[in-house]
Structure 1
């Protein structure tokens, strides 16, 4: 027997995440903003994984065959691509994140992902692979033994797999060859960039930094500027450390995030609801299957046969009109919805209806 809930564009399993416990929260500068120019950089490269136990790319992955032939040619071995068998080899994409102020000789973790039709990268070794930035320059070289969390095996027409066997990691698998950084000593101002733009948060941040003894001003809803005088340039690191540890009160717009794929609903602490009348019902469909056996007559020449009898029942679930009073806090809103007996899977439709009625004091973001 299978019972289907009301027809919503939701996953079968839904969850409700209620975020936030108050209208505002205290945070340090380093938790909600970053210094302009101090950022990570993405690196990537094309490489070859060898040593696979017959789980590599097939001949259909022509780029793998061409890559192996080119690699052998650079080593002085001439071989026709059509003569190569690549089941122990796989073409991969290698990625890494280059942190700010990285110095040559430091190491990075790398992620290796299959590009062809390899079954598994378990047991493979990444050949020396250059990792390039968006400017086309080589910033690191990667190689080493792969660590793969999944596995895949097959035989006799059956197969079994667990997790993802065509991607893996190499801890400390890349060595930085070229430094990337920012010259802090030449800065005339420090610009802090908020992760989430908000004018109130920017003003509060500037005021808190100024009260801590460092002049600061909010340029807009995302940028807070701190002038750097000659007397502070000698200890610019100390100035940055002092600023990023300043605590202040953050603010945010009231928002409700709905994920129709998973049924997740996340509501911030600033969400308010006006008085609204609400009725919610649905249609429940029940499908039951009963398997019967039909026997032939005593003198008939037929054979025993199985018959599936499906019974479909549909019924409407009734729900009266109920009044939801205006709430002053997130807790009141949750209590009001719980009093209606709202299921997590129904919240998305209900909140969208309340918003359409003009009773929800928040923006709705549908993912």
Structure 2
């Protein structure tokens, strides 16, 4: 078998060479297996229209902190919230003339509370909430969230949350000023803290059609989903309306029992298609290549330029018994330029697979730090049949 990379003269084979210099951060390449992707269930690659989560948010107060709460001087909203809460509970802290008395508790913090309302959540269902400090509190450890209404995008209250925080990070500070922090001390979660008070009206039993929405829109995948549904039900009821949507008409056998139809559909397996893509994350030093990445015939020359400057101090002194001149130290500079002794021009044949591409680049002696430059240069030359996405 001929080697994937062979050293040849570029003019003899009529190809262009690209000299790529190193200089980017270190990178790690994860190549997907060359074998075809296994079939996936429709429920793992698509959603049914109307079956979705909804975001909830609320403003509340956490009490019981160990001196790590908000500074009321810097967080006036915390003070106003505290005064309003106490007045609603029948506690008056206003002085004559309506002036608010001076209060400086250090165990109170204003927080934002977020939650996700799952589909088909009924009254009384409990959901988890996340709590994050809004002011300058140093830690929420040991705090208790007081009753907090959670509203949706329409301004209506859908749940009410209350409970003790858990999963809060810890911070410790020594007398010298050194500190250690583990996790995030200004945020935490409360399991089953919110109770659903309002339901979202949505009935599936009387639907005459259902839309299946792909999480990664693709023409081929949409057509395969429609074909799988039609083949299973034995009738032409599913048609893709766009790359991300498949319209499914409820057949007579499932009228009034749409849940059963969706249960059967979501268990069907298809092989999703995907475009050839290379994702580059320079911050974390990661390259991810899709299975369908291909390249045309191209020649690559990769080298490294190193400039080394050495300063050597030398002593200069006058001749023996001389009455003039002084002894001084002078610098002698030695400059070397190394362009790399292993430079060579190598050829990538047409249509190599992802595994062959990775193996070939590794055999060429190219380190992970140079792969980004090489892939971008091949793309610029028009020899890479894939999209490059830089995160």
Deviations 1:326-367 (A, max 9, x none): 343221111111112222222222111111111111011111
What secondary structure is seen at the aligned counterpart in 2 of 1:60? coil
**Pair 282,130 (structure 1): closer, same or farther in 2 beyond 3 Å:** farther
Give the match for residue 234 of structure 1: 256
Residue 357 of structure 1 pairs with residue 377 of structure 2: no
Residue 7 of structure 1 pairs with residue 23 of structure 2: yes
Give the match for residue 89 of structure 2: 75
Residue 87 of structure 1 pairs with residue 106 of structure 2: yes
CA contact (8 A) 1:29 1:244 kept: yes
How far, CA to CA, are the matches of 1:77 and 1:60 in structure 2?
24
**Pair 51,253 (structure 1): closer, same or farther in 2 beyond 3 Å:** same
What secondary structure is seen at the aligned counterpart in 2 of 1:117? coil
Higher relative contact order (CA 8 A, sep 6+): 2
Segment of structure 1 superposing worse, 87-96 or 320-329: 320-329
How far, CA to CA, are the matches of 1:15 and 1:48 in structure 2?
45
Consecutive unaligned residues of structure 1, counting only runs of 5 or more, are: 289-310
Deviations 1:42-67 (A, max 9, x none): 11111111111011111311211111
Give the match for residue 152 of structure 1: 171
CA contact (8 A) 2:33 2:355 kept: no
**Pair 357,141 (structure 1): closer, same or farther in 2 beyond 3 Å:** same
Deviations 1:122-174 (A, max 9, x none): 11111111111101111111111111342112242422211211110001111
CA contact (8 A) 1:141 1:176 kept: yes
Q: Report the alpha carbon displacement of residue 218 of structure 1 after superposing the two structures with TM.
A: 1.2
Segment of structure 1 superposing worse, 141-150 or 195-204: 141-150
Residue 52 of structure 1 pairs with residue 74 of structure 2: no
Segment of structure 1 superposing worse, 234-243 or 157-166: 157-166
How far, CA to CA, are the matches of 1:179 and 1:287 in structure 2?
73
Q: TM-score, normalised by structure 2?
A: 0.81
CA contact (8 A) 2:41 2:266 kept: yes
What secondary structure is seen at the aligned counterpart in 1 of 2:106? coil
Deviations 1:194-227 (A, max 9, x none): 0111111111111111111153111111111111
How far, CA to CA, are the matches of 2:30 and 2:212 in structure 1?
31
